Amino acid sequence: RIAYVNGLYVPHADAVVHVEDRGYQFADGVYEVCEVRGGHMVDERRHMERLVRSLDAIHIAMPMSLAALGFVLRETIRRNRVRNGFVYLQITRGVARRDHYFPVPEVPPSIVVTARAADPAKGEAVAAQGIAVITVPDNRWERVDIKTTGLLPNVLAKEAAKQAGAREAWFVDASGHVTEGGSTNAWIVTGEGRLVTRPAESGILRGITRTVMLEVAQKLQLRVEERAFTVAEALAAREAFVTSATNFATPVVRIDGQAIGDGTPGPVARALRENYHKSAEIAR
Ligand code: PMP
């Protein structure tokens, strides 16, 4: 495997950044994960737009043109011969003596890109089974709209899920409403057949897959409500599912040990999953 690190393509085993990288010391950076399908990035444009917004929000200047960055992403995918899988991009504020203030003078941001193959059959098997989720209090900061590498609450929540025999944790805000998953956006289908997902204005990362699924839902003429929903509502829902670049739409069949609907993947999640790649932009 090959990784891109600050201008060089190096063997994955030798792909290192400095101990004084601010990503390492402060999680002072942002990232993107993009699906690779048939050797091409899925929704590259939207991922790059979100990257620009994340960088802007934490005041890191875009270190190279989007065209150059796109080239690096494609080259990393190519050098790893990834047909189906994922490409990971991380940009941190760079290497400087440890000090909370931004480095003066500015240092060049650190850029890392990795790509790896993933067997689509494995994801399909998980989706066919459905996953279990647990709920945990949302103890994150207010700027979860920024795709920062500062993911400790997400790591702890997902590990708690794993220890409980579940795959994902749903964060719940102080008013009892679900915000999102540790690495996914959360959805339910109500008893009346309405698709419900939280508005992106507060409490969640605006998932690219979420945005695409809203378009898919429109094409399938599903009734959609962008509003917050409670855990109680989710437990009483006909279906629940999660979305992300790595999950597409994956059915949730248990929440906190309680079966959702009949406890098997539902038709709405399945339809969204099946139609997803028709709506996602796959650049060729
Ligand atoms: N929320 C969180 C907290 C995430 O980490 C992710 C995945 N990066 C998502 C939602 C889903 O975003 P996307 O659809 O862009 O992968």
Q: What is the ipTM of this complex?
A: 0.99
| 79 close to 43: Cβ distance less than 8 angstroms | no
Return the axis-axis angle of helices 267-279 and 208-219, rounded to nearest 10°: 100
Q: 147 — phi, psi (to 5°)?
A: -85, 70
For the chain, 284 residues long, give each residue's pLDDT as a single digit of tens. 999 999 999 999 999 999 999 999 999 999 999 999 999 999 999 999 999 999 999 999 999 999 999 999 999 999 999 999 999 999 999 999 999 999 999 999 999 999 999 999 999 999 999 999 999 999 999 999 999 999 999 999 999 999 999 999 999 999 999 999 999 999 999 999 999 999 999 999 999 999 999 999 999 999 999 999 999 999 999 999 999 999 999 999 999 999 999 999 999 999 999 999 998 888 65
| Amino acid in the structure at residue 16 | V
Protein fold of 2-118 = D-amino Acid Aminotransferase; Chain A, domain 1 (3.30.470)
Distance 81 CA to ligand 1 centre (A): 25
CA 116 to chain centre: 16
Looking at the DSSP bridge assignments, the partners of residue 2 are: 11
Q: Which amino acid is at 120?
A: P
- Lining ligand 1 with CB less than 6 A are 33, 154, 180, 183-185, 205, 207-210, 243-245
127 vs 265: CA distance, rounded Å: 8
Selected catalytic residue, list 147, 162, 219, 278: 147
CA of 147 to the centre of ligand 1 (A): 8
- Tell me the C-alpha distance between 51 and 84, whole Å: 22
CA distance 190 to 196: 7
| Domain(s) of CATH 3.30.470.10: residues in the chain | 2-118
Contact yes or no for 86/61 (Cβ under 8 A)? no
Q: Are strands 168-172 and 131-137 parallel, antiparallel or unpaired?
A: parallel
For residue 53, the CA-to-ligand 1 centroid distance in Å is: 15
Token reading at 105:
């003078």
For the entire predicted model, the pTM comes to 0.97
- Is beta strand 2-5 parallel, antiparallel or unpaired with respect to 8-11? antiparallel
CATH of domain 123-279: 3.20.10.10
Does residue 158 have an active-site annotation? no
Range(s) of the chain covered by CATH 3.20.10.10? 123-279
**What CA–CA distances, in Å, run from 251 to 15, 142, 180, 196?**
36, 28, 14, 14
